[in-house]
Structure 1
Amino acid sequence: MTTPTFPPPSPALPSALPSALSSATPSALPSATESRPQSPTLAWRTPAGAAFVALPHRRHLRSAAGIADQVLDEVGQAVEGERAESDVSRINRNAGSMVPVQPLTLRLVQIALDAARTTRGAVDLTIGRAVAEPGSRTDDYRSVRVDRTLVRVGVPDGVRLDLTATATSWAADESARRIQRRYGEAVLVGVGSDLASAGTPSAPWRVEVSETAGTPGVPTSLANGGMATASALGHRWSTPDGTLVHHVLDPRTGAPATGGCRTATVWARTALTARLAGAWALVDPHAAIGWIAERRLSARLVDAGGGVSHLGDWPAPSLDEAA
């Protein structure tokens, strides 16, 4: 294992720590973990980004894609910020009140809160205000209120939720689980830059990892579990003063993250875990690297200068070899 070199962590970090992904338009987010399976594959566009399903046989392909598309639509109705009547949009519009939501929304909010606690706030669902108003600091995830009995969620005035960093990867995992349960076959599902597999393929899925969609990738494989890429290169633009910025926000400042890691691809048991680890690495690589190593995950990291480092056994060949 090579040891990556990043700048030292910032001192005296506030309690409201960063989230690694903003809710930029899905088409602008990086699709940097891309499948090149030899098995039959069906791809389509969704509000969450490019999606595909790969199976060993073609006979269930269209119906399997329908299952995945249904999951993505369910998640979109729950948390998609671009949908005016999604539960998260209603929560944001009614800040200061407890808002009745559907059970799936409650579950996704809880998943996002668990991710925030796991990453010590580095993947923070209250990133929404900083996304809408660049330069605004993120509010603490501890301000989110969840009423499990009455199935309600609320945030204080001025707080906006954005579940981009966790909801799409959960949807990829859930799609793979449902398809595998339905047909009993190995399946690979891709949504944006998240890959989720279920079942045991006869041979590992062939995958290419790159920093941005459409650029030459590094071939690797995925036998099981999930893989996700977070990259600061996927969506960049210039400010009026000519400064080049990207979509990965640091809620401590509301500005693009400058942690020293520009791209992180992580293998884990699920796409959700891979996503939060990769997102965390872009904002606070020191803490994320320790967490990745402790859990014996695998990662490919690219620093600000383009140097590549690997953590663990890249790619991890088997779940049996990971804790």
Structure 2
Amino acid sequence: MPLIETLPVRPDTAQWPAWGTVARLVVTDPAVLDQAAGILRDELSAVEQACSRFRPASEIRDVCRSGGRPVIVSALLAELVGAALTAARETDGAVDPTVGGALCALGYDRDFAELAGRTVGSGVRVFPAPDWRAVRLRGRELTVPHGMLIDLGATAKAVAADRAAARITDRLGTGVLVALGGDIATAGSGPDGGWQVLVQDRPGDPSCTIRIPAGSALATSSTAGRTWGRPGELLHHIVDPATGRPAPTVWRTVSVAAFSCLQANTLSTAAIVRGHGAPRLLAGVPSRLVTPSMRILRTGGWPA
């Protein structure tokens, strides 16, 4: 994922490696920073245990091994799956949680920290995602068809950022910004003038510094941040569900501002998948799209 960082690291800021990226936390009350960091760490741990496809004992892996039988899941996993299914519905399947099998076939079958720099074998069968509508969620009863592998990577990180920011504000009364790589959520009262955020994918890429109001969110999806190779091609992690292959790199990055990180991430990911259709998808939405040649397209009032 891309790296979007608040500026600069200060005594009211904590950060650490998490989920193959950087978790960064900024609070308006430095006195509660340690407590806020504990809440964020707990939230990340809970989400990982619920839905990581890289952990054999995760709850979602148990469901996928259930042979298509209904399983009563935790409230957290039900929320995470519900968010993913909502994203699929709102994007007509462009953001699809059933791409897990396709990602494994492409070689993305382990935590990205272990995959980075690795060349996977050629001749791997690649297949489109099954129909996301075959996944059934009724309250906390989840049914995943036999043989389907769920991947919540497109939405779970955004949900975690939203949840953690809200929990920190509710419990500690501080304004907060939570950044998980390219997924940023805020809650509570922000600094005067809003939160200052540097938007840049990789070193040397075009950058801009913007201010987002308290309570808003920002997400960036990238075809350059998580890549790996196999003979003759470079792959990235945003899969087009219709083909089971990485989406064509019409856009290097897409950044979207919204009122929740989940909504922002849903739109930025869908824009990568839609390719040349992204500007129409994002019409009226504050967005910044960067082409592989580093040309910048701004929509919906994104600051120049």
TM over 0.5: yes
8 Å Cα contact 2:29/2:175 also seen in 1:
no
Of residues 24, 27, 48 in structure 2, which corresponds to 1:55?
Answer: 27
Query: Which of the residues 89, 104, 112 maps onto 2:61?
Result: 89
Query: Counterpart of 2:24 in 1: which secondary structure?
Result: strand
Residue 202 of structure 1 corresponds to 191
Quote the residue 2:286 is aligned against.
298
Aligned to 2:299: 311
Question: Which residue of structure 1 aligns with residue 7 of structure 2?
Answer: 36
The residue number in structure 2 matching 1:192 is: 181
Match of 2:171 among 174, 178, 182: 182
User: In 1, Cα distance between the equivalents of 2:297 and 2:263?
Assistant: 20
| Partner SS, residue 165 of structure 1 | coil
Q: What is the CA-CA distance between 1:139 and the residue it aligns to?
A: 0.5
Q: In the alignment, which residue of structure 2 is the partner of 1:80?
A: 52
Selected match of 2:76 from 104, 115, 125: 104
- How far is 1:54 from its partner? 0.5
In the other structure, the counterpart of 1:10 is none
- Contact 1:195–1:227, Cα closer than 8 Å, also in 2: yes
When the two structures are superposed, what TM-score results if normalisation uses the length of structure 2? 0.86
Q: Distance in 2 between matches of 1:238 and 1:76?
A: 26
Distance change >3 Å, CA 257–CA 274, structure 1 → 2: same
Q: 1:140 aligns with which of 124, 128, 131?
A: 131
Q: Secondary structure at the match of 1:71?
A: helix
Residue aligned with 1:253, SS: coil
In the alignment, the residues of structure 2 paired with residue 311 and residue 247 of structure 1 have an alpha-carbon distance, to the nearest angstrom, of 25
Three-state SS of the structure 1 residue aligned to 2:57 is coil
Q: State the alpha-carbon separation in 1 of the partners of residues 162 and 204 from structure 2.
A: 24
| Contact 2:14-2:33 within 8 A present in 1 as well | yes
In 1: Cα distance, 2:190 partner to 2:171 partner: 16
1:248-272 deviation per Cα after TM superposition (whole angstroms, max 9, x unaligned): 2112221111161221011100111
Residue of structure 2 equivalent to 1:230: 221
CA displacement at 1:111 relative to structure 2 = 1.1
**C-alpha deviations, 1:260-292, integer Å up to 9, x for none?**
122101110011111011000101045543343
Q: 1:262 to 1:38 in 2, by over 3 A?
A: closer
TM-score relative to the length of structure 1: 0.81
User: 1:253 is matched with which residue?
Assistant: 243
Query: Percent of aligned pairs with the same residue?
Result: 37
Counterpart position of 1:265:
255
The verdict on how the C-alpha distance between 1:214 and 1:186 changes in structure 2, with shifts beyond 3 A counting, is: farther
The answer as to whether partners of 1:100 and 1:153 remain within 8 angstroms in 2 is: yes
Partner of 2:144: 155
Partner of 1:170: 159
Please give the root-mean-square deviation of Cα atoms over the aligned residues, in Å.
2.0
Letter in 1 for 2:32: H
The one-letter amino acid paired with 1:136 is F
Matched-pair contact (CA < 8 Å) for 1:264–1:299:
yes
Q: Which runs of 5+ in 1 are unaligned?
A: 1-29, 317-323
Distance 2:275 2:67 in 1: 32
Separation of aligned partners in 2, 1:71 and 1:213: 29
Residue 95 of structure 1: how far off its partner (Å):
3.6
1:219 equivalent among 186, 203, 209: 209
Inter-partner Cα distance in structure 1 for 2:8 and 2:39: 20
Partner of 2:279: 289
CA-CA distance at 1:198 after TM superposition = 1.0
Q: CA deviation at 1:131?
A: 0.8
* Gap runs ≥5 in structure 2: 107-125
Q: 1:89 to 1:315 in 2, by over 3 A?
A: farther
1:45 and 2:36 are equivalent in the alignment: no
Inter-partner Cα distance in structure 1 for 2:143 and 2:230: 33
* Post-superposition offset of 1:164: 0.8
**8 Å CA contact retained: 2:206, 2:294:** no
Q: Match of 1:129?
A: 101
Aligned partners of 1:145 and 1:162: how far apart in 2?
15
Q: Which amino acid aligns with 1:268?
A: A
Instruction: Kindly provide the CA deviation profile for residues 59-88 of structure 1, in whole angstroms up to 9, marking residues without a partner as x.
Output: 100100111111111111211112222111
